[in-house]
């Protein structure tokens, strides 16, 4: 069994290429060096089985004690399985030897994650504990490789599992530096959305924007530079012989660090045609703020989060910007947090000290589990997700600070009634539901008896998307923008304290921040007329009109903008409360159950543009939140 042929192959190599695993079992009954013999290409039988994707052969070889740590020019067997995207083979190897997930191939010093060619293979390794930011011998991470190979889906999988979008690799290049040589606007947007800095220089002092300015393909250069200008890119003319010193020099090791005079304004047309030397921008507003937050401040801050399904990613991006500018976690910036549906889930995430960067990746990963099949979706995956994140037995009152309220709709009565899931006792004088003579209406459980995951599930039971959770429907039916209801609740809470003789504990609101999940563009509607048809043409018009009218009614009931915002702003101004409504206008209508990564990345890109364009508003907000 140790005899080799002219190619250096043993009987084990032949058995792997055959169709019968029983032959392989027969050969492996007795110990033989042929089991781990490498042929002239450096491949052992296990390498060959992984290359061919023969899972049963891999299983038998592993049972016969084939070694997983035999190196070939392409690496170990698991590297071979990753190279040819043989998921089953890779899973068997990792199952037999979990350390193989961290193995480095001898040629590049790369982990199996570096070899992943698609999102499925990358996720398989990441779920089993692969280091998402592990570096190769050249210093590159798996994200660098995915960008170099233009693997958008793979890059998205890595980013959603926490890959560092600003990691410095070979020659100090970040993934964004490498993306500039690829013709993929979606990839560039994704990296920036997940935190890549356009103005970060590599070891040669080149920023990604500088590299973009040298792209030879006009269409690509125009697209990338337009993106950068949208977020405030500042441009300078290329230096010429005898140019003033203040403009810097190409030979400067770090041109970004050289102080320059203000360059002359450049029109977009000349920007596209000139081979610019330097393009950079300041993504972060120039806040020179130190945290002066006082634990004993005399006024409260309220954060309100709209409903909107997976569009909660927009809220997350806005919160990340606020946290980045203030240097303080959301939990410590606000005393009250109100949320509806997806906003309720995020309110609970804030309560449980989960970072917004983590929640961003979690939303991208969770959507594919939850929105599977057709509507209404199975509730199981959503409930498992909520239990996993918040605990199966955690009660609403287990975490006290900040005070959190989630909206839900009690649908076991007519008319339905708004219910608030709280992590504090409801004001006694205003307990829900309101006193009713009907003894058949059962009151909801008290906060100390309500499970966190059930509260989140009830608040997010959007009709036609998920089945009701018992008698609860989505809170968005009555309060998709919970601002006014939250302000009412705080007033009632304070009035109750005064009634109990505890007026010294009352804190007035000073700041209200309302975050939306993105406004959809308005579109014209041709007909909302519903009438008794007299011919087939009128029947078609009636059906179309009924559909448009039904959609209009639902949109009006659940609209978080428009008059809902106007009323909240007016009430705040009347009582001297600072009110901030942050809600970017999206270019396309994003559905609550959108699963397309590119569409969601584009929505977050538009949110980034909105944040940049409203720098002054963010600056004022952060200053107020940090003041005692």
The residues facing 206 across adjacent strands are none
Q: What share of the chain is helix, strand, coil (3-state, %, to 5)?
A: 45, 10, 45
Specify whether the CB–CB gap between 167 and 141 falls below 8 A. yes
Residue 619 dihedral angles phi and psi, to the nearest 5°? -60, -45
The per-residue DSSP string of 481-526 comes to S-HHHHHHHHHHHHHHHHHTT-GGG--EEEEEEEE-S-BPPP----
Alpha-carbon distances of 107 from 80, 136, 248, 342, 387, rounded to whole Å:
13, 10, 41, 46, 43
Residues 6+ apart with CB under 8 A from 370: 377, 381, 382, 385
Please write down the long-range contacts of 290-297, taking CB distance under 8 Å and 24 or more positions apart. Answer: 290/626, 291/326, 291/327, 291/328, 291/626, 292/626, 292/627, 292/628, 293/328, 293/332, 293/333, 293/625, 293/626, 293/628, 294/628, 297/628
Active-site annotation holder among 103, 213, 280, 341: 341
Specify whether the CB–CB gap between 407 and 338 falls below 8 A. yes
- Residue 341 appears among annotated catalytic residues: yes
Q: How far apart are CA 566 and CA 564, in angstroms?
A: 6
Choose among 213, 160, 165: nearest CA to 188.
Answer: 165
Alpha-carbon distances of 607 from 218, 303, 317, 362, 425, rounded to whole Å:
27, 18, 7, 18, 36
Specify whether the CB–CB gap between 600 and 301 falls below 8 A. no
Residue 542 dihedral angles phi and psi, to the nearest 5°? -65, -45
The per-residue DSSP string of 430-471 comes to GPSSPP-S-TTSPPPPPGGG-BHHHHHHHHT--TTTS--BTT
Alpha-carbon distances of 556 from 419, 474, 522, 530, 564, rounded to whole Å:
20, 15, 13, 18, 10
Active-site annotation holder among 199, 300, 335, 474: 474
What's the angle, vertex CA 296, arms to CA 291 and CA 299, rounded to 5?
Answer: 90
Q: How far apart are CA 250 and CA 277, in angstroms?
A: 7
Give the pairing of strands 578-582 and 508-515. Answer: parallel
Give the H or E element holding residue 80.
helix 77-83
- Residue 474 appears among annotated catalytic residues: yes
Q: How far apart are CA 232 and CA 613, in angstroms?
A: 9
Q: How far apart are CA 307 and CA 74, in angstroms?
A: 49
Specify whether the CB–CB gap between 302 and 575 falls below 8 A. no
183-194 in b/e burial notation, b at 16+ Cβ within 10 A? Answer: ebbbbbbbbbbb
> Looking at the annotation, which residues are catalytic?
341, 474
């Amino acid at each position: 069994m140790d005899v080799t042929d002219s190619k250096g192959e043993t009987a084990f190599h032949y058995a792997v290429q055959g169709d019968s695993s029983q032959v392989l079992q027969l050969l492996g009954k007795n110990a033989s060096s042929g089991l781990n013999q490498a042929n002239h290409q450096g491949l052992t039988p296990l390498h060959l089985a992984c290359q061919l994707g023969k899972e049963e052969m891999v299983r038998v070889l592993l049972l016969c004690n084939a070694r997983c740590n035999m190196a070939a020019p392409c690496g170990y067997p698991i590297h071979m399985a990753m190279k040819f995207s043989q998921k089953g083979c890779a899973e068997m190897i990792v199952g037999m030897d979990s350390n193989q997930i961290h193995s480095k191939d001898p040629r590049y010093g790369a982990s199996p994650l570096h070899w992943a060619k698609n999102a499925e293979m990358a996720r398989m390794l990441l779920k089993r504990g692969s280091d998402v930011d592990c570096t190769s011998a050249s210093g590159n991470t798996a994200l660098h490789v995915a960008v170099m190979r233009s693997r958008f889906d793979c890059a998205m999988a890595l980013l959603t599992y926490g890959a560092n979008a600003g990691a410095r690799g070979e020659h100090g290049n970040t993934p964004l530096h490498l993306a500039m040589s690829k013709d993929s606007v979606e990839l560039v947007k994704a990296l920036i959305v997940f935190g890549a800095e356009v103005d970060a220089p590599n070891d040669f002092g080149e920023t990604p924007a500088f590299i973009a300015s040298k792209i030879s393909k006009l269409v690509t250069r125009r697209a990338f530079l337009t993106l950068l200008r949208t977020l405030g890119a500042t441009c300078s003319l290329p230096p010429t012989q005898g140019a003033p010193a203040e403009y810097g020099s190409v030979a400067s090791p770090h041109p970004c660090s050289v102080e320059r005079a203000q360059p002359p304004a450049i029109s977009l047309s000349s920007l596209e045609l000139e081979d610019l030397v330097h393009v950079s921008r300041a993504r972060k507003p120039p806040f020179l703020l130190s945290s002066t937050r006082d634990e004993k401040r005399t006024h409260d801050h309220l954060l309100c989060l709209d409903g909107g399904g997976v569009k909660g990613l927009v809220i997350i991006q806005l919160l990340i910007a606020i946290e980045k500018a203030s240097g303080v976690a959301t939990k410590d910036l606000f005393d009250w947090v109100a949320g509806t549906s997806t906003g309720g889930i995020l309110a609970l995430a804030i309560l449980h000290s989960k970072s917004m960067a983590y929640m961003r990746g979690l939303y991208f990963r969770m959507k594919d589990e939850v929105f599977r099949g057709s509507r209404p979706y199975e509730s199981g995956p959503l409930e498992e997700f909520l239990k996993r994140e918040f605990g199966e037995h955690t009660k609403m009152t287990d975490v006290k600070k900040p005070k959190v309220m989630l909206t839900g709709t009690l649908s076991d009565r007519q008319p339905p009634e708004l219910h608030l899931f709280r992590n504090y006792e409801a004001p006694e004088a205003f307990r829900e539901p309101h006193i009713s003579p009907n003894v058949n209406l059962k009151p909801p459980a008290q906060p100390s008896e309500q499970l966190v995951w059930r509260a989140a599930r009830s608040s997010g039971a959007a009709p036609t998307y998920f089945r009701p959770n018992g008698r609860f429907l989505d809170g968005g039916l009555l309060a998709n923008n919970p601002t006014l209801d939250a302000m009412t609740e705080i007033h009632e809470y304070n009035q109750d304290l005064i009634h109990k003789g505890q007026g010294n504990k009352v804190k007035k609101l000073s700041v209200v921040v309302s975050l939306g999940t993105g406004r959809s563009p308005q579109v014209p509607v041709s007909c909302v007329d519903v009438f008794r048809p007299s011919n087939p043409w009128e029947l078609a018009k009636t059906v179309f009109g009924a559909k448009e009218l039904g959609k209009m009614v639902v949109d009006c009931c659940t609209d978080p903008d428009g008059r809902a915002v106007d009323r909240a702003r007016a009430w705040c101004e009347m009582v001297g409360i600072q009110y901030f409504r942050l809600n970017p206008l999206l270019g396309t209508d994003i559905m609550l159950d959108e699963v397309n990564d590119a569409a969601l990345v584009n929505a977050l890109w538009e949110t980034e543009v909105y944040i940049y364009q409203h720098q002054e508003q963010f600056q004022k907000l952060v200053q107020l939140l940090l003041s005692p």
